[in-house]
């Protein structure tokens, strides 16, 4: 059997059109037609992507071991996770572009590329390169819409919906469209029927797994609750300070033993915001106090050991943290985030004070 007939049979088995196959392989529909009628053959560079698209070994097309394919996909995931953890956004985009070029129908690779593009467009790495940022956004949207059209995996579809809603729901760089954001958001299940909550019920008679799920969910709900408090709309600075300090009290209450692990970065963020708000109302003492506390938590966050770490608060002690599952869209540290805000005009009133100058000069001294 010729390679063209093999492609045709595989395509029919998968129940897709020539147009759909062509779009995934980034070739013309005429090219696919020529392969299938035997008047032309795919370029050698397309053999592996074609085999991977149909989830077959290249024993069918050329030669390829399926176990090697699985191992390669696992390596791609590990390498992509490492890049994301280090905040190497441009490198992450190119990594997943290469993965998608080789595995064009692998939806996990596709959604990881979409996440990389979404993260990169928000990165400070772009500076004023709005054109590239917009291209990244358009590419991410196109991928997500393709995933929703063709992918049946619930989790991957959920990730696509998330990116679409975050993009259309933000006024960042001109893609804001409330109607589209609402349209895609309504495709997702409500909070009480999402996977995480339902797993609590699924594990009802497995105490260990249920407790781990409940505690992991509690951490997520904590993050959602306090984020809403921190970024809510307030009539003035003092009202905003009250809201942020209330969120801070919640963190201190539930992490009563000080073992924040990942949430050291949230504490550092809260103290950064508080320092700016106090500086705006002219309270230099509290502005500096919060800067020092932000530094304390920033250092603690950067010093979290690798590997699985256990929370010790009774509210979360069945949940764990592992640095490998964290990601960011910048290559700096939490201390760099503090250094970045020091140039904000909010601090103009205390910028020339001895305490502020000493803090700035000693920020990176542990």
Structural domains in the chain, sorted by start: 3-53 (1.10.260.40), 81-188 (1.25.40), 206-361 (no CATH)
171: its two tokens: 């006024």
pLDDT for 1 beyond 60: no
For the segment 278-305, what is each residue's pLDDT rounded down to a tens digit?
A: 999 999 999 999 999 999 999 999 999 9
Among 87-101, 121-135, 149-163, 289-303, the minimum mean pLDDT is found in 121-135
How far is residue 200's CA from residue 194's CA, in Å, rounded to a whole number? 11
pLDDT for 65 beyond 80: no
Nearest to 238 by CA among 283, 191, 296, 195: 283
For the segment 193-223, what is each residue's pLDDT rounded down to a tens digit?
A: 999 999 999 999 999 999 999 999 999 999 9
Mean pLDDT of 182-187: 96
Judge contact between 11 and 29, C-beta under 8 A: no
For the segment 99-111, what is each residue's pLDDT rounded down to a tens digit?
A: 999 898 899 999 9
Chain mean pLDDT for the chain: 91
What is the model's pLDDT at position 253? Answer: 98
3-state secondary structure the chain: CCHHHHHHHHHHHHCCCHHHHHHHHCCCHHHHHHHHHCCCCCCHHHHHHHHHHCCCCCCCCCCCCHHHHHHHHHHHHHHHHHHHHCCCHHHHHHHHHHHHHHCCCCHHHHHHHHHHHHHHHCCHHHCCCHHHHHHHHHHHHHHHHHHHHHCCCHHHHHHHHHHHHHHHCCCHHHCCCHHHHHHHHCCCCCHHHCHHHHHHHHCCCCHHHHHHHHHHHHHHHHHHHHHHHHCCCCCCHHHHHHHHHHHHHHHHHHCCCCCCHHHHHHHHHHHHHHHHHHHHCCCHHHHHHHHHHHHHHHHHHHCCCCCEEECCCCCCCCCEEEHHHCCCCCCCCHHHHHHHHCCCHHHCCCCCCHHHHHHHHCCCCC
Q: Say which residue, 253 or 46, is predicted with more confidence.
A: 253
pTM comes to 0.80
Question: Between the ranges 121-125, 268-272, 324-328, where is the mean pLDDT highest?
Answer: 268-272
């Amino acid at each position: 059997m010729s390679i063209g007939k093999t492609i045709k049979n595989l395509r029919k088995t998968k129940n897709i059109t020539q147009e759909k196959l062509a779009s995934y392989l980034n070739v013309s529909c005429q090219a696919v037609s020529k392969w299938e009628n035997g008047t032309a053959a795919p370029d050698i560079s397309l053999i592996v992507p074609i085999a991977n698209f149909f989830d077959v070994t290249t024993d069918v097309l050329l030669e390829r071991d399926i176990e090697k394919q699985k191992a390669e996909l696992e390596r791609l995931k590990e390498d992509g996770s490492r890049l994301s953890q280090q905040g190497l956004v441009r490198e992450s985009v190119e990594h997943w572009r290469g993965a998608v070029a080789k595995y064009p129908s692998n939806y996990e690779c596709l959604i990881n590329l979409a996440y990389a593009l979404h993260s990169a467009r928000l990165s400070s790495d772009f500076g004023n390169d709005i054109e590239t940022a917009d291209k990244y956004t358009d590419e991410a949207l196109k991928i997500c819409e393709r995933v929703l059209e063709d992918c049946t995996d619930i989790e991957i579809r959920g990730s696509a919906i998330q990116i679409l809603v975050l993009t259309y729901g933000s006024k960042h760089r001109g893609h804001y469209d409330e109607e589209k954001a609402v349209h895609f958001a309504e495709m997702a299940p409500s909070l009480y029927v999402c996977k995480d909550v339902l797993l609590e019920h699924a594990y009802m008679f497995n105490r260990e797994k249920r407790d781990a799920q409940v505690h992991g969910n509690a951490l997520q709900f904590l993050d959602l609750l306090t984020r809403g408090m921190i970024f809510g709309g307030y009539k003035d600075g003092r009202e905003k300070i009250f809201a942020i300090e209330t969120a801070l009290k919640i963190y201190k209450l539930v992490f009563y033993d000080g073992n924040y692990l990942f949430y050291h970065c949230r504490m550092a963020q809260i103290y950064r915001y508080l320092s700016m708000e106090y500086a705006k109302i002219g309270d230099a003492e509290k502005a500096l106090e919060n800067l020092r506390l932000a530094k304390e938590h920033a250092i603690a966050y950067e010093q979290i050991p690798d590997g699985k770490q256990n929370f010790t608060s009774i509210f979360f002690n069945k949940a764990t943290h592992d640095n490998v599952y964290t990601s960011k869209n910048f290559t700096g540290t939490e201390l760099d985030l503090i250094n970045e805000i020091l140039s904000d005009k909010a601090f103009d009133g205390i910028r020339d004070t001895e305490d502020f100058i000493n803090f700035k000069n000693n920020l990176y001294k542990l």
